Structure 1
């Protein structure tokens, strides 16, 4: 049995907004995608917190997860992730405690240490709170306390939340969360879908630091992977230009709405921009089924990842659904 056949596969959705669409369609597409990959047998479906970005509709992460949970039956749903510096731990405990109470055994809570927003947006989110990333270990411990069993003398409880033990994951694109996740004995997800440079080192740090805990007896690594899979290499390269344009817009500080694919990126980017985009999408699985299958097997051989969570930034929703159909078939036939 191949590595891919034995590896869990999941989906990370950013609820992308097209240049000719709006947030309502993006959110409805998110539910349709969750239902689709549930039928395909994927392990989980996560959405990510982003703010002040006109091309991403998943800002109210817990609210969106409630919508997705109501429209699905089995697949695990979660935040990939909540940016904890933006929130009081009690609020997150109550939100995800409510979700876990309504949909028991189906809710994950992935936590990020970065604010994930510019200074002005961070100020608008936090108001009077300091909200520093340096507070992350203490905020994590506080959050774990709210979600764990109530203790004698505990003056503040999360209700719902207390005793739900919502599974917590640490997310990261650097080494800090890898070290902390290992020390805490928590599962770790690396953001290699947009920051692959430190992937191997982060995995090594996490596994070396790992201490068994009440929730995990051995390290568990999930990797974010951009999926740009189509029927042929040529078609995939064409569809990938939507992702290239979006990353280019991010680098330039421009609108992040999805743009249709183009025949060529020549004239749209400068040489140094092309290199920067390639660096951020270095782990992207671009190609037809045979090409992507080879690359996925190599990635799993090099990393020993336990799970892969795929983003799919394709313009036409039908192409996104088809990409996940092809991925599921690759796993079945591996």
Structure 2
């Protein structure tokens, strides 16, 4: 049976506030919990006025306090921005606050320009090169599988799931080598999806945490009563994608009717390319898209992204989709 989860960037909409964004995140997490989702992940981004998840572990504390059973985690923490010791302390604290519910998803790309490098006071290029060693050190700080001269408290002995995130073959190879579950960011970078999953499964080495390969793949999800309404909801994210790819990122804009048709051919092609990992339409259409994606990837889990300008619309979209997918789960 496939599990379903939510990836949230904690979007800040045009005309909205941070307070509203954090409130919407807890409302969405509560909806996801009621709908039967397994995980609720928050992604780390910086210097983006439309994304409020930069202090990821703090946001996860907020989400954890608003829920009771759903797993909470990072999708992901960009480890080059930090030290393994600090992340061990932060997620060890989360694991103690929310026992049996915490995931630590790790990514390599800092996504940082010179301004952020100065703010972090780190050579992020060198930190990215050291990513594999830092992952090993972080796992040792949490599990003690390698003897280190220090122990993180909180951190050492924490019961949490460590995940490797990626959008290329590098993350797949590292996840396989370390015996970690692997999550692929196909919702915005689908190019290497099939090759990365093949490499991960072929080269997987069992670990104390995981006996066999375990894949999560990301999709964009927009469900509504009509196909036109779902496309309208998705247009806010489409605008955000176009703005990001053209160097004009900002807050999440309101939806625009027929937005895709207003774009020049290159921008439409970019959206169509990303749409390889999207489910947009009525509940029946969404279910068929998700089925096809699972058949393509063989993923044990699917994680849904897809911000909407009206937070209530995303909650309603999720409820429609999960109700449609429930039939598949019942037959599994």
What range describes the TM-score normalised by the shorter chain of this pair? Answer: over 0.9
Q: CA deviation at 1:304?
A: 0.8
Matched, 1:233 2:233: no
TM-score, length basis structure 1? 0.94
Q: CA deviation at 1:165?
A: 4.3
Q: CA deviation at 1:150?
A: 8.0
Q: CA deviation at 1:159?
A: 0.5
Matched, 1:44 2:43: no
Matched, 1:284 2:278: yes
Q: CA deviation at 1:266?
A: 6.3
Equivalent residues of 1:115, 1:122 under 8 A apart: no
Matched, 1:217 2:230: no
Tell me, what secondary structure is at the counterpart of 1:193?
coil
Q: CA deviation at 1:11?
A: 0.3
Q: Deviations over 1:112-131 (max 9, x none)?
A: 01102323213312446765
Equivalent residues of 1:237, 1:287 under 8 A apart: yes
Take 2:276 and 2:131, find their aligned partners in 1: how far apart are those partners?
28
Residues 69/283 of structure 1: CA separation in 2 closer, same or farther (3 Å cut):
same
Q: CA deviation at 1:268?
A: 5.1
Equivalent residues in 2 for 1:1-334, closer than 5 Å: 6-127=1-122, 131-149=126-144, 154-265=148-259, 269-334=263-328
Q: Which runs of 5+ in 2 are unaligned?
A: none
Equivalent residues of 1:150, 1:157 under 8 A apart: no
Q: CA deviation at 1:58?
A: 0.4
Take 1:151 and 1:246, find their aligned partners in 2: how far apart are those partners?
43
Q: Which runs of 5+ in 1 are unaligned?
A: 1-5
TM-score, length basis structure 2? 0.95
Q: What is the aligned length? A: 328
Take 2:300 and 2:99, find their aligned partners in 1: how far apart are those partners?
23
Q: CA deviation at 1:149?
A: 3.2
Take 1:171 and 1:42, find their aligned partners in 2: how far apart are those partners?
19
Tell me, what secondary structure is at the counterpart of 1:20?
coil
Residues 8/310 of structure 1: CA separation in 2 closer, same or farther (3 Å cut):
same
Residues 165/136 of structure 1: CA separation in 2 closer, same or farther (3 Å cut):
farther
Tell me, what secondary structure is at the counterpart of 2:103?
strand
Take 1:146 and 1:135, find their aligned partners in 2: how far apart are those partners?
16
Take 1:49 and 1:42, find their aligned partners in 2: how far apart are those partners?
21
Tell me, what secondary structure is at the counterpart of 2:54?
coil
Aligned CA-pair RMSD? 1.6
Tell me, what secondary structure is at the counterpart of 1:35?
helix
Q: Deviations over 1:126-168 (max 9, x none)?
A: 446765311111000110111013876x422111001114311
Equivalent residues of 1:227, 1:310 under 8 A apart: yes
Of the structure 1 ranges 238-247 and 173-182, higher mean CA displacement relative to structure 2 is found in 238-247
Q: CA deviation at 1:182?
A: 0.7
Tell me, what secondary structure is at the counterpart of 2:14?
coil
Q: Deviations over 1:280-318 (max 9, x none)?
A: 333111111111111111111121100000012211111
